[in-house]
Amino acid sequence: MADTAKPKGGTARGSASRRRSRKDTALGNEKPETLLDYYRQMLFIRRFEERTGQAYTQARIGGYCHLNLGEEATVVGLMDALQERDYLFTNYRDHGYAIGKGMDPKRVMAELYGRVDGVSKGWGGSMHMYDTQTRMLGGYGIVGGQLPLATGAALAVTYRGGDEVVMCQMGDGTTNIGAWHESLNIAKLWNLPVVFVVINNFTGMGTTVEMSSAEPELYKRGAAFRIEGERVDGRDVLAVRDTATRLVERAREEQTPFLLEAWSYRQKGHSVVDPAKYRTDEQRDEARSEENDPIALFDAKLAKAGILTDDLREEIAASVKAEVTEAADFAENSPKPDVSTLFDYTYATPVPNESRRMPADPVFAE
Amino acid sequence: MSVITYRQALRDTLRAEMVRDENVLVIGEEIGVFEGSYKITEGLLKEFGPRRVKDTPIAEEGFVGAAVGAAMLGLRPVVELMTINFSLIAIDQIINHAAKIYGMFGGQTSVPMVIRTPGGGGQQLGATHSQNIELFYSFIPGLKVMAPSTPAEASSMLRAAIRDDDPVLFLENLGLYNSKGEVPEDYAEPENSNVATIGRAAVTREGSDITLIGYSRMAMVATQVAEKLAEEDISVEVVDLRSLRPLDRQTFVDSVKKTGAAVICEDDWLTYGIGAEIAASIQEGAFDYLDAPVRRVAMAEVPMPYAKPLETAALPSVESISTVIKETLSAVGKRVG
Ligand SMILES: Cc1ncc(C[n+]2csc(CCOP(=O)(O)OP(=O)(O)O)c2C)c(N)n1
C-alpha cells in the first residue's frame, strides 16, 4: 500500500491545506499532443456536463442527473489507463466515463434526451449508459450494484483465458454496502482482474466519508481482503493515469484485483437539483476553488510549460463548444422512441403468452 | 421411457447441458466439494473441475451478481441458491439487475442465466426456511419463472432454461426431489429435443366437472386429488402452470370455459398471491362461463411453525383441496360424490 497523496481522514472535514497535495506530477517527457489531448478531453466533459445541467433545468432532460464537475481529471486519467479491450462498469455518475471510454458524445446526449439514437435507445437515461462496442458495460443506479457484475465480467474473462481487465468505478459512499465486501472478497478468492476504483469526493449525497466509514482512508480497506490499495490525487490527470495504468497492468499480469482511491472535489450538489445546502460557504468555495479545480490546475501547468498558449486555449475552447452544441443539436433532432416499441426489450428470447397489454387493455381481447 | 426421481432428472440434465455447451458453468455454495446441499450437483466437480463448478463463499448477493456479470459477457451460469429463502439476500441483483439489464440498455446485452433454487414447506424447517416466495419474482417483467412438477418437466424445462437468453428463476421444491416419474429414454443425452417451451401451461389430466390449477408440488398434489375424486365420480381437469412468468392464461381460461368452475391450489400465502392473479384472469377471461365463484386453496397465512401437526395443518392437502372442490360443485348444484 502506498499513501501517495493526502488527505488524511478522521475529522468531520479536513482543511483545505491538509487536502492539498505536496507535489504536482511533473510534466516530464510527456508529449505535448498527449497533454493537450487530456486538456481537451477534460474541458469537453466539463462543457458537456454544463450543457447537460442547462438542458436539465430547461426540462429537456428528465429523471436524475449526476454530473462529473470537478472529477474530470479522474475520469480522463482512468479512461486513458484502460486498453480498448478492457471493460468498464460505473455508477450513475457516468456521462464522463461513457465519453471517455469512447462512446459518441452525440449519442450520450441523445440518451439524456431519451431519444432513439441514445446509446441505450432511450431506455436507460442518465444513469444507464451502455455500449457493447466500446465495452462500457453500463452505469448502474443502485449503489454498489455494479460491483458483483464487474467481478462476474472478470470471471467470464478468465474463464475464456482472456487478458482483459475490468474496471469498476464507484463513489466513497459505496464502500459500506454489502456488495462491496462480497465483491472484493470474491474477486480476490477467484483471482479476478478487476480494478475497483473509489472516487472519493468526500460525500455520498450529504453524508461525509467520516460519517459513514469507520476507516475513512478508503484505499486501506482492501487490506481485509489482501487487496493492495493506493490513493491518488484525483485532481491530477497524469497522477491518476500513471497510478491507474500501473494497477490495470498489474491486474492483467498478476490476475488479481486492486483498489484505487482517487480523491477530488464534487463541485456542485449530488445531482443537478441538489443545492448542497449541507455545505458551508467555506466548504463550497473550497470545492470550487481554482486550486482544487482539475482543469484550472492543468491549464496553469500547461501554460507555465509553454504548451498551452492563449491562442491554443481559445481554439480548443471554441472547438469543444462547437462539438457540445453539435451533440445537443443531434439529441434535439433525434426522434423520440415510438410507443409501438414498448414491448421490444423485455425478453431476449421471445416467449408465447408474454403479456403485452397496455394499461387499458383487457387481458383477453377477443 | 424410464422412471427416475426429480432429483436425478435435474442432475443428469444439468450434466448433459455442461457436456453440450462449454459456456455452461455452475456457481453456488457447497455445490462442488460438498456436491450440493440436495445433491443435484453430485459428481460435477469430479467431471468438470473447479473452472466450471465454482464453490462460492456465503455471499448470495456477490455470487448471484457475479453470475449476472458473467452472463452479460456470454457465459451461461447456472446458479444454485441453497434455498429460495436466501434469495432475499440477492434480491437486488435478481430484480434490479438480472431482470432489468436487457431492457434498460435497450436490448444490447442479455443475461442468459439460471437460478435454480428449492423452496416449500413440509420439512419442519421453521419460518425462515419453509417459504415459497416465487411471487416476488413472478411479479417482475424481465425474469422468467419456471416451476416444474414432474421429473420429465424438470428435465425439459431445465434444458429450456439453460438455453434461454433471459434470466430464469427455476423453482424446485424440497418435497419433489424424491418423487418419481417417467422420462424419455434420451432425457440425459447432451443433444436432444426434450426442450420445453417456456411459457406454456399444460392440461395434464382431462376432466369435465371442474378445473383444478396448480404448479410445482401443488400440480402433483392436484393430480392426486383428481385421482381420488375420480373414484367418487367427480371429473377433475388438472392444469399445471409450469411457468409463472410468462403466464399462460389461455390454457387455464380455456379449461374453465369447458368445465365452468375452478379451484386454484398453491403452496404459498393467499393474500396477493399467485392464485389471486389466476382468479382475476379467470373472471376477466371466462366470467360468462363460470357457474360458481373461483375458490383458492393456499397455505395458512402464518410464519411456518416447526411443530409437525401445526405445519401439516398450514399446508394445502389432498383433503383440503377435495373439500373445496366439493363445496364449489355443490354450490352449482352439480352432483357430488
Ligand atoms: C442501495 C442504494 N441506496 C441508496 C441510494 C440513493 N443514493 C443514490 S446516490 C447515493 C450516494 C452515493 O454516494 P457515493 O457512493 O459516494 O457516490 P457519488 O454520488 O459520490 O458518486 C445514494 C445514497 C441508491 N441509489 N442505492
CA distance B320 to B328: 12
Q: What is the model's pLDDT at position A363?
A: 81
SS3 A140: strand
B166 and A364 in contact by Cβ < 8 A? Answer: no
CA A85 remoteness from chain centre: 18
What value does the mean pLDDT take over residues A138-142? 97
Would you say residue B337 lies in a domain?
A: no
Q: What share of chain A in percent tops pLDDT 70? A: 93
User: Is A14 a residue whose pLDDT tops 80?
Assistant: no
pLDDT bracket for residue A59 (50, 70, 90): very high
For residue B258, what are the domain limits? 202-331
Which amino acid type is present at position B266? E
Would strands B210-214 and B202-205 be described as parallel, antiparallel, or unpaired? unpaired
User: Is A18 a residue whose pLDDT tops 50?
Assistant: no
Q: Judge if B169 and B316 occupy the same domain.
A: no
Segments making up each domain of chain A, as ranges: 30-326
- Which residues, in sequence order, are CB contacts of A47 under 8 Å at separation 6+? A320, A321, A324
Which residues of B are identified as catalytic?
60, 129
SS3 A147: helix
The residue with cell 486519467 is A77
What value does the mean pLDDT take over residues B155-162? 98
Please compute, for residue B152, the number of CA atoms within 13 A of its CA located in the half-sphere on the CB side: 13
What value does the mean pLDDT take over residues A95-108? 98
Nearest to A152 among B66, B246, B249 (CB): B66
Q: Judge if B229 and B116 occupy the same domain.
A: no
CA distance B223 to B218: 8
User: Is A94 a residue whose pLDDT tops 60?
Assistant: yes
A141 lines ligand 1 (CB under 6 A): yes
Number of continuous H segments (helices) and E segments (strands) in chain A: 12, 8
CB B132 within 8 A of CB B268: yes
Q: What is the DSSP string of A243-285?
A: HHHHHHHHHHHHT--EEEEEE----S-SSTT---TTS-HHHHH
| 0.80 surpassed by pTM | yes
Q: Is B49 on the interface with A (CB under 8 A)?
A: no
CB B129 within 8 A of CB B183: no
Q: How many CB atoms are closer than 10 A to CB B187? A: 23
Q: What is the model's pLDDT at position B45?
A: 98
Locate B165 and state its grid cell. Answer: 437468453
Q: How many CB atoms are closer than 10 A to CB A314? A: 10
Report the domain count for chain B: 2
CATH number at residue B163: 3.40.50.970
Q: Judge if B175 and B321 occupy the same domain.
A: no
A156 and B112 in contact by Cβ < 8 A? Answer: no
Q: Judge if B74 and B110 occupy the same domain.
A: yes
A91 lines ligand 1 (CB under 6 A): yes
pLDDT tens-digit profile of B93-131? 999 999 999 999 999 999 999 999 999 989 889 999 999
Q: In angstroms, what is the span from residue A32 Cα to ligand 1's centroid?
A: 38
Would you say residue B336 lies in a domain?
A: no
Q: What is the model's pLDDT at position A360?
A: 85
SS3 A37: helix
Q: Judge if B80 and B179 occupy the same domain.
A: yes
Q: Judge if B229 and B81 occupy the same domain.
A: no
Q: Judge if B293 and B163 occupy the same domain.
A: no
Q: Is A352 on the interface with B (CB under 8 A)?
A: yes
What value does the mean pLDDT take over residues A232-239? 98
Mean pLDDT of chain A: 93
What value does the mean pLDDT take over residues A146-173? 98
Cis peptide, bond prior to residue A105, ω within 30 of zero: no
Would you say residue B75 lies in a domain?
A: yes
Q: Judge if B58 and B19 occupy the same domain.
A: yes
Q: What share of chain B in percent tops pLDDT 90? A: 94
Q: What ipTM was estimated for this complex? A: 0.91
B200 and A353 in contact by Cβ < 8 A? Answer: yes
In whole angstroms, how far apart are CA B278 and each of B142, B213, B237? 20, 9, 16
Would you say residue B250 lies in a domain?
A: yes
Q: Judge if B260 and B144 occupy the same domain.
A: no
Q: What is the model's pLDDT at position B50?
A: 97
Indicate the residue among B116, B150, B183 that finishes a domain. Answer: B183
The alpha-carbon gap from A352 to the nearest alpha carbon of chain B, in Å, equals 6
What value does the mean pLDDT take over residues B230-248? 97
Q: Which helix (H) or strand (E) holds A35?
A: helix A32-57
CA distance A122 to A116: 6
Would you say residue B309 lies in a domain?
A: yes
Query: How many residues does this entry show for chain B?
Result: 337
pLDDT tens-digit profile of B199-238? 999 999 999 999 999 999 999 999 999 999 999 999 999 9
pLDDT bracket for residue B337 (50, 70, 90): low
A204 lines ligand 1 (CB under 6 A): yes
Would you say residue B189 lies in a domain?
A: no
Indicate the residue among B120, B155, B183 that finishes a domain. Answer: B183
Residues of chain A numbered 179-198 and touching chain B (CB < 8 Å)? 179, 182-183, 185-186, 189-190
Q: Judge if B207 and B296 occupy the same domain.
A: yes
User: Is B193 a residue whose pLDDT tops 50?
Assistant: yes
Mean pLDDT of chain B: 96
A234 lines ligand 1 (CB under 6 A): no
CA distance A19 to A14: 7
Q: Judge if B211 and B174 occupy the same domain.
A: no
pLDDT tens-digit profile of A253-275? 999 999 999 999 999 999 999 99
SS3 A315: helix
What value does the mean pLDDT take over residues A142-164? 98
Q: Judge if B8 and B146 occupy the same domain.
A: yes
Q: In angstroms, what is the span from residue A227 Cα to ligand 1's centroid?
A: 24
- Residue B331's Cβ-count burial label (10 Å; 0-12, 13-18, 19+) is middle
What's the CATH code, domain A30-326? 3.40.50.970
CATH number at residue B280: 3.40.50.920
Q: What is the model's pLDDT at position A364?
A: 78
pLDDT tens-digit profile of B269-321? 999 999 999 999 999 999 999 999 999 999 999 999 999 999 999 999 999 99
Q: Which residues of B touch A185 (CB under 8 A)?
A: 57, 59, 62
Residues forming beta bridges with residue B265, ordered by sequence position: B297
- Residue A85's Cβ-count burial label (10 Å; 0-12, 13-18, 19+) is exposed
Q: What is the model's pLDDT at position A25?
A: 61
For chain B, give the secondary structure using H, E and C: CEEEEHHHHHHHHHHHHHHHCCCEEEEECCCCCCCCCCCCCCCHHHHHCCCCEEECCCCHHHHHHHHHHHHHCCCEEEEECCCHHHHHHHHHHHHHHHCCHHHHCCCCCCCCCEEEEEECCCCCCCHHHCCCCHHHHHCCCCCEEECCCCHHHHHHHHHHHHHCCCCEEEEEECCCCCCEEEECCCCCCCCCCCCCCCCCCEEEECCCCEEEEECCHHHHHHHHHHHHHHCCCCCEEEEECCEEECCCHHHHHHHHHHHCCEEEEEEEECCCCHHHHHHHHHHHHHHHHCCCCCEEEEECCCCCCCCHHHHHHHCCCHHHHHHHHHHHHHHCCCCCC
Would you say residue B152 lies in a domain?
A: yes
Q: Which residues of A touch B75 (CB under 8 A)?
A: 155-156, 159
Would you say residue B196 lies in a domain?
A: no
